[in-house]
């Protein structure tokens, strides 16, 4: 589904990702953990096409197609979704208008009929309810004046509506209390299916108690230095990231 | 004086209608006036010489029709090339509403009209003087004390290519009366027009006002809407302007009675080489007045916007609340905004706030929208709308707001971020 090979990314003058490899197959949940500054967010931004993230080498394909060639909007239409660590506030554009425009654009790209206003509203209300966001939030400006937790839940709400094939959650757990964490995790878990994959980027093991990953990868200095099953997350929780310093890269990675 | 001004004054001298005695003072001021230069503060950023150089004989003819606005259920009155189209006057008006051609014998008998003419607008606006001297036609609207007029009045002011046109509107809103008036200006070919409207809003009266300055292309227009507010009068004014080769609107709000409330929301959207100049002036001459002014502009390509917002709080205007903000979105490096809030406060117990900002398109917001599958062009339109939506939503008449949206969308679709 998503194949990342030897990805190298520069932001301004600094190379952040230095040869990252990751294979994500349909239905899999991959957790990417690592210390601050290891390149976790860079991965999400690069995959979603944020301007300023220069790919210096490597490749990324989605269902065999070159992802990096696509504009940000076309990546979304190909089924990629990034839940932002810092969702952007857009005053004056209502959440509802935003969501409808996004959904219409994606449906159009997929040659589907646009959703009727009535069906849309019904689905949007249900999605809000699922993440415990009052339906009034649909009328407010996109993320405008939302609390940190509300912004994160709004991201998951969008994910529920857009039904992407591959979801990248960029530190969606940061700044959430335990209740909100559960709401977010339940939202994600409800979407797990044999066709849909997740990349859960997080600093803490806590989220992985609720979203159980199939694979855990440790990102350090722009490379994945260790991969394992969910027990690796617990190991990291106990030992911290300091031991990574002396860890050689696993075989097969540069 | 230049040729254009002296010709205007000469033409004015030859007019002998019922307003001629009222025009005398303006005529004298006009005769003393100089053509503005770049050093003339009031015209500093406006290349006013294009007005004088315009050769109307070379203009492309046009014949714009006045289309009704669906669902508005308005009385539509058409002024074409400065001439009131008498056949657009209703056969019967609701009780309490009187609408007359400016050039009519009945109008000449109205004392309030005599007393209002050239008294609400500022004395020394050069093109206001031109209009004083040359506007022989237009409209007189009188809303009787206590009358509540449900249907909006829409004045469609059409100026076709090649025309020079000067129209005047005088409005009295009686005590406790309520009315909604739309001044709708259109024209896109080379033309020169002035359009001034003077409103006298009575005690406890309410005026809902719109000025749609939608001239575009080569149409040159200079005009203004000017309001006197009596005690506890309420004014809600909404200006929407597209730029053209030369376009300037002055909005003056005079608090003459205590406790009056004024809200002015203005939007200007410019593209290409368009120009738009908005001068607003709020005079708080008496105590306990409130004014709020929200001005938003989006300027693209090579266009230029000028905003000069003056608030003058006189010595006795204690307990005045006055707010003014001007926010601009700049879509290109070559577009230009000259914004200047001017506060003159001579009372000590007032609350007054002002601010002006100029910003570029938010790239993070753009990326966020794109990351959800919305293409760049549409994201741009959405962000432009986001910038002004609040003021469109704020319009008291939802039909007008909905009528505007597709036109704004069309404008935004043509604008590019450079």
Contact assignment for A158 to B385 by CB distance below 8 Å: no
The angle formed by the CA atoms of residues A217, A220 and A222, to the nearest 5 degrees, is 100
B367:A50 CB<8 A: yes
Q: Which residue of A has its CA nearest to B364?
A: A88
- CA–CA min distance B276, chain A (Å): 24
The token duo for B374 is 């919305």
- Cβ within 8 Å, pair A93-B389: yes
What separation in angstroms does the CA of B389 have from each of A90, B194, B267, B299?
12, 29, 10, 16
Cα separation, B289 vs A144, in Å, equals: 32
Report residue A135's pLDDT band, with 50, 70 and 90 as the boundaries.
Answer: very high
What pLDDT is stored for residue A221 in this prediction?
A: 92
Per the CB < 8 A criterion, the answer to whether A227 and A24 are in contact is: no
CB proximity A162 to B under 8 Å: yes
The predicted pLDDT at position A245 comes to 65
Please report the pLDDT score of residue A246 as a whole number: 61
Dist. CA B376–CA A233, nearest whole Å: 39
Chain B residue nearest residue A79, CA to CA? B373
Residue A21 near chain B (CB below 8 Å): no
**Whole-number Å distance between alpha carbons of A1 and A19:** 19
Residue to mutate among B329, B367, B373, B375, with most A CBs inside 10 A, is: B373
Q: Are the Cβ atoms of B362 and A93 closer than 8 angstroms?
A: no
Q: Which residue has the tokens 């310093």?
A: A245
pLDDT on residue A253:
41
Nearest chain A residue to B367, by CA: A50
Quickly state the pLDDT bin for A250 (edges 50, 70, 90).
low
Q: Enumerate chain B positions whose Cβ falls within 8 A of a Cβ in A.
A: 362-365, 367-376, 378-379, 382-383, 385-390
3-state helix, strand, coil in chain A (%, to 5): 40, 30, 35
With bands split at pLDDT 50, 70 and 90, how would you rate the model's confidence at A44? very high
Distance between A240 CA and the closest CA of chain B, angstroms:
33
Closest Cβ–Cβ partner in B373, B386, B390 for A90: B386
Nearest by CB: A88 against B365, B378, B387: B365
Distance CA B234, CA B202 (A): 9
| DSSP code, position A35 | -
Q: Are A97 and B382 a contacting pair at CB < 8 A?
A: yes
Quick check: helix, strand or coil at residue A31? strand
Query: Predicted ipTM?
Result: 0.94
- Assigned fold of A2-86+160-246: Rossmann fold (3.40.50)
Instruction: Provide Rg for chain A, Cα atoms.
Output: 18
Which residue in A has a C-alpha nearest to residue B391's C-alpha?
A: A92
Residue A162: its chain B contacts at CB < 8 A?
A: 372-373
Question: What is the distance in angstroms between the Cα of A29 and the nearest Cα belonging to chain B?
Answer: 21
Chain B residues in contact with A87 by the CB 8 A cut-off are 368
* Inter-chain touch B371–A76, beta carbons under 8 Å: yes
pLDDT tens, residue by residue, B272-317: 999 999 999 999 999 999 999 999 999 999 999 999 999 999 999 9
Q: How confident is the model at residue A251 (pLDDT cuts 50, 70, 90)?
A: very low
For B294, other C-beta atoms within 10 Å of its C-beta total: 18
Q: CA-CA distance, B48 to B57, in Å (whole number)?
A: 19
Task: Enumerate the H helices of chain A as residue ranges.
Answer: 40-48, 72-77, 95-109, 117-130, 148-162, 178-191, 206-210, 231-239
Q: Which of A51, A76, A92 sits opposite B372 (nearest CB)?
A: A76
The answer to whether residue A249 scores a pLDDT higher than 80 is no
Domains of chain B, by residue range, sit at 3-414
pLDDT score at B29: 95
The side-by-side arrangement of strands in the sheet containing A166-170 is A80-83, A166-170, A197-202, A29-33, A215-220, A223-228
Q: Are B84 and B100 in contact (CB under 8 A)?
A: no
Residue of B nearest to A44 (CA): B371
Instruction: Quote the radius of gyration of chain B (alpha carbons, Å).
Output: 21
Q: Environment class of residue B222 by beta-carbon count within 10 Å: exposed (0-12), middle (13-18) or buried (19+)? A: buried
The 10s digit of each residue's pLDDT in B318-366 is 999 999 999 999 999 999 999 999 999 999 999 999 999 999 999 999 9
Contact B372 A98 (CB under 8 A): yes
What percentage of chain A carries pLDDT values higher than 90? Answer: 80
Contact A79, A159 (CB under 8 A): no
Kindly indicate the confidence band of residue A60, based on its pLDDT and cuts at 50, 70 and 90.
Answer: very high
> Given pLDDT bands bounded at 50, 70 and 90, which one contains residue A36?
confident
CA angle A59/A61/A62 to nearest 5° reads 160
Q: What is the nearest CA distance from A77 to chain B, expressed in angstroms? A: 5
- Taking the domains of chain A in order of start, what are their residue ranges? 2-86+160-246
Which has the closest alpha carbon to B386: B403, B368, B361, B407?
Answer: B361
Distance CA B279, CA B282 (A): 10
Smallest Cα distance from B385 to chain A, Å: 7
Q: Do A75 and B371 touch (CB under 8 A)?
A: yes
- Tens-of-pLDDT digits for all 418 residues of chain B? 678 999 999 999 999 999 999 999 999 999 999 998 888 888 888 888 899 888 998 999 888 999 999 999 999 999 999 999 999 999 999 999 999 999 999 999 999 999 999 999 998 899 999 999 999 999 999 999 999 999 999 999 999 999 999 999 999 999 999 999 999 999 999 999 999 999 999 999 999 999 999 999 999 999 999 999 999 999 999 999 999 999 999 999 999 999 999 999 999 999 999 999 999 999 999 999 999 999 999 999 999 999 999 999 999 999 999 999 999 999 999 999 999 999 999 999 999 999 999 999 999 999 999 999 999 999 999 999 999 999 999 999 999 999 999 999 999 999 988 7
The 3-class SS string of chain B reads CCHHHHHHHHHHHCCCCCCHHHHHHHHHHHHHCCCCCCCCHHHCCCCCHHHHHCCHHHCCCCCCCCCCCCCCCCEEEEEECCEECHHHCCCCCCCCEEEEECCCHHHHCCHHHHHHCCCCCCCCCHHHHHHHHHCCEEEEEEECCCCECCCCEEEEEECCCCCEEEEEEEEEECCCCEEEEEEEEECCCCEEEEEEEEEEECCCCEEEEEEEECCCCCEEEEEEEEEEECCCCEEEEEEEEECECEEEEEEEEEECCCCCEEEEEEEEEECCCCEEEEEEEEEECCCCCEEEEEEEEEECCCCEEEEEEEEEECCCCCCCEEEEEEEEEECCCCCEEEEEEEEEECCCCCEEEEEEEEEECCHHHHHHHHCCCCCHHHHHHHHHHHHHHHHHHCCCCHHHHHHHHHHHHHHHHHCCCC
């Amino acid at each position: 589904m998503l194949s990342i090979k030897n990805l190298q990314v520069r932001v301004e003058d600094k190379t952040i990702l230095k040869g990252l490899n990751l294979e994500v197959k349909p239905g899999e949940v991959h957790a990417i953990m690592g210390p601050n500054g290891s390149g976790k967010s860079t991965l999400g931004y690069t995959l979603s096409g944020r301007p300023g993230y220069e790919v210096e080498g490597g490749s990324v394909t989605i269902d065999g197609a070159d992802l990096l060639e696509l504009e940000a909007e076309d990546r979304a239409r190909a089924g990629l979704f990034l839940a932002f660590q810092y969702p952007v506030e857009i005053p004056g554009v209502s959440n509802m208008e935003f969501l409808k425009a996004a959904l219409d654009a994606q449906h159009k790209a997929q040659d589907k009929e646009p959703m009727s206003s009535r069906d849309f509203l019904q689905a949007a209300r249900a999605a809000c309810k699922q993440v415990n966001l009052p339906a009034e939030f649909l009328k407010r400006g996109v993320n405008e004046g939302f609390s940190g937790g509300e912004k994160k839940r709004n991201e998951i709400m969008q994910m529920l509506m857009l039904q992407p094939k591959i979801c990248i959650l960029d530190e969606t757990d940061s700044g959430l209390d335990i209740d909100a964490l559960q709401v977010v995790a339940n939202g994600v878990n409800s979407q797990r299916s044999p066709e849909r994959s997740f990349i859960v980027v997080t600093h803490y093991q806590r989220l992985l108690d609720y979203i159980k990953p199939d694979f855990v990868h440790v990102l350090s200095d722009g490379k994945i230095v260790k991969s394992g099953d969910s027990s690796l997350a617990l190991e990291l929780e106990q030992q911290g990231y300091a031991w990574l310093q002396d860890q050689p890269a696993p075989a097969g990675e540069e | 004086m230049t040729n254009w001004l002296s010709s205007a004054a000469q033409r004015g001298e030859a007019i002998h209608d019922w307003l001629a005695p009222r025009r005398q003072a303006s005529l004298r001021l006009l005769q003393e006036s100089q053509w503005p230069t770049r050093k003339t503060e009031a015209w500093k950023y406006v290349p006013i010489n294009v007005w004088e150089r315009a050769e109307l004989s070379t203009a492309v003819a046009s014949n714009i029709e006045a289309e009704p606005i669906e669902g508005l259920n308005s009385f539509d009155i058409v002024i074409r090339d400065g001439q009131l189209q008498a056949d657009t006057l209703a056969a019967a008006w609701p009780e309490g509403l009187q609408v007359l051609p400016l050039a009519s014998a009945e109008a000449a008998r109205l004392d309030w009209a005599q007393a209002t003419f050239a008294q609400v607008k500022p004395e020394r606006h050069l093109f206001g003087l031109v209009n004083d001297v040359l506007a022989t036609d237009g409209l007189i609207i009188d809303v009787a004390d206590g009358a509540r007029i449900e249907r909006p009045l829409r004045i469609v002011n059409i100026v076709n290519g090649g025309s020079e046109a000067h129209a005047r509107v005088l409005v009295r809103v009686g005590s406790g009366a309520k009315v909604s008036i739309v001044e709708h200006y259109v024209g896109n070919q080379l033309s020169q027009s002035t359009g001034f409207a003077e409103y006298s809003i009575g005690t406890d009266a309410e005026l809902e006002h719109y000025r749609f300055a939608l001239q575009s292309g080569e149409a040159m227009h200079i005009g203004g809407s000017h309001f006197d507010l009596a005690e506890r009068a309420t004014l809600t004014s909404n200006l929407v302007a597209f730029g053209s080769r030369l376009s300037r609107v002055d909005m003056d709000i005079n608090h003459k009675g205590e406790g009056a409330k004024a809200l002015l929301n203005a939007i200007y959207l410019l593209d290409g080489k368009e120009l738009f100049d908005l001068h607003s002036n709020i005079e708080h001459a008496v105590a306990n007045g409130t004014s709020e002014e929200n001005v938003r502009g989006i300027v693209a390509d090579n266009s230029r916007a000028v905003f000069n917002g003056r608030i003058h709080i006189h010595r006795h205007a204690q307990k005045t609340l006055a707010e003014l903000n001007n926010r601009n979105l700049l879509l290109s490096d070559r577009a230009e905004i000259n914004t200047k809030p001017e506060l003159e406060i001579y009372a000590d117990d007032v609350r007054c706030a002002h601010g002006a900002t100029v910003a570029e398109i938010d790239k993070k917001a753009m990326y966020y929208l794109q990351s959800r599958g919305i293409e760049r062009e549409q994201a741009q339109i959405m962000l432009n709308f986001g910038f002004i939506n609040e003021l469109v939503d704020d319009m008291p008449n939802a039909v007008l707001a909905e009528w505007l949206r597709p036109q704004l969308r069309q404008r935004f679709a043509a604008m590019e971020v450079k």
